[in-house]
Amino acid sequence: MAMGFCDQIWADVAPLRQAILAHPFLTALADGTLPRDSFQHYIVQDSLYLAEYARTLAIAAARAPSAAGRLEFSDGAKVAVQVEEALHQAFFAQFGVSATTAQGAEPTPSCLGYTSYLASLAATRSYEELVAGILPCFWVYWEVGCAIKPRAVSPNPYAPWIETYADPGFGAATDRVRALVDEAAAATTPAVRDAMARAFRNATRYEWMFWDSAWRLESWPV
């Protein structure tokens, strides 16, 4: 049997996934040595990211051709807001991010680049491209969570983060979104499938950039 569409685009980004799994931010997170300022940077930016990601998921829900898609993406939009409010607020307290710092934070170039890219797919591209661009956020984090969990030291200050993304429930959500992307790919043309593969690749690149930007404490150059 031929390889499914998602299996194909996943295999195509194997070098990007290797670069993600080998990134010093994630190796340091697993062994508990990640500098506190890098994690603070990450968690503040991720909170901004999730607020925008939730909006993009809500647009995907509105545009999904099937009830399964409308349910999945509207539920995803809700969970993204909940994670932003629960997990991140707990981390703000644990890692000493004040309410003023969190509320006054502006998105970095990498964060704004990623959220704006997804918003542009939602605004001006097909439903198929949009859902392909949405998928790495699920799938890359599920792969990272599963890869890091067995090598994480215990105790680890970042354990709740690792548990969130290695959770079988998150894996199941990833599988369902993947099935929706496969369904969209099967029903469209080769040209749209190529565009889907590009959206998937670009979003995966932004996933690497997001961790790298936290590692480097990225800010605006001017």
Ligand X SMILES: Cc1ncc(CO)c(N)n1
Site string for ligand X, 45-84 (x = CB under 6 A): -x--xx----------------------------------
Query: Is residue 208 within the footprint of ligand X (CB under 6 A)?
Result: no
Closer Cβ to ligand X, 23 or 193, answer by number: 23
x/- mask, ligand X, residues 139-158, rule CB under 6 A, reads: --x-----------------
Cα 97 to Cα 177: distance, rounded to the nearest angstrom:
33
Q: Binding segment for ligand X among 42-50, 99-107, 151-159, 213-221 (CB under 6 A)? A: 42-50
Q: Is the peptide bond before 155 cis (omega within 30 degrees of 0)?
A: yes
Q: How far apart are CA 44 and CA 89, in angstroms?
A: 10
Residue type, 201: R
- Binding range to ligand X, per CB under 6 A, among 27-35, 44-52, 99-107, 172-180: 44-52
CB of 70 to ligand X, least distance (A): 20
> Nearest distance from residue 77's CB to ligand X, in Å?
12
**What tokens does 171 get?**
């894996």
CB contact set of 3 (below 8 Å; sequence gap of 6+): 11
- To the nearest whole angstrom, how small is the minimum distance from the Cβ of residue 65 to ligand X? 24
Q: Rounded to the nearest whole angstrom, what is the least distance from the CB of residue 130 to ligand X in the complex?
A: 16
Q: What is the dihedral of CA 189, 190, 194, 199, to 10 degrees?
A: 20
In the numeric block, the tokens 């994480």 are attached to 152
* Nearest CB to ligand X, comparing residues 50 and 185: 50
CB environment 6-44: b (16+ within 10 A), e (fewer): beebbeebeebbeebeebebbebbbeeebeeebbbbbbb
Q: Residue 137 interacts with ligand X (CB under 6 A)?
A: yes
Binding site for ligand X (CB under 6 A): 46, 49-50, 137, 141, 207, 210
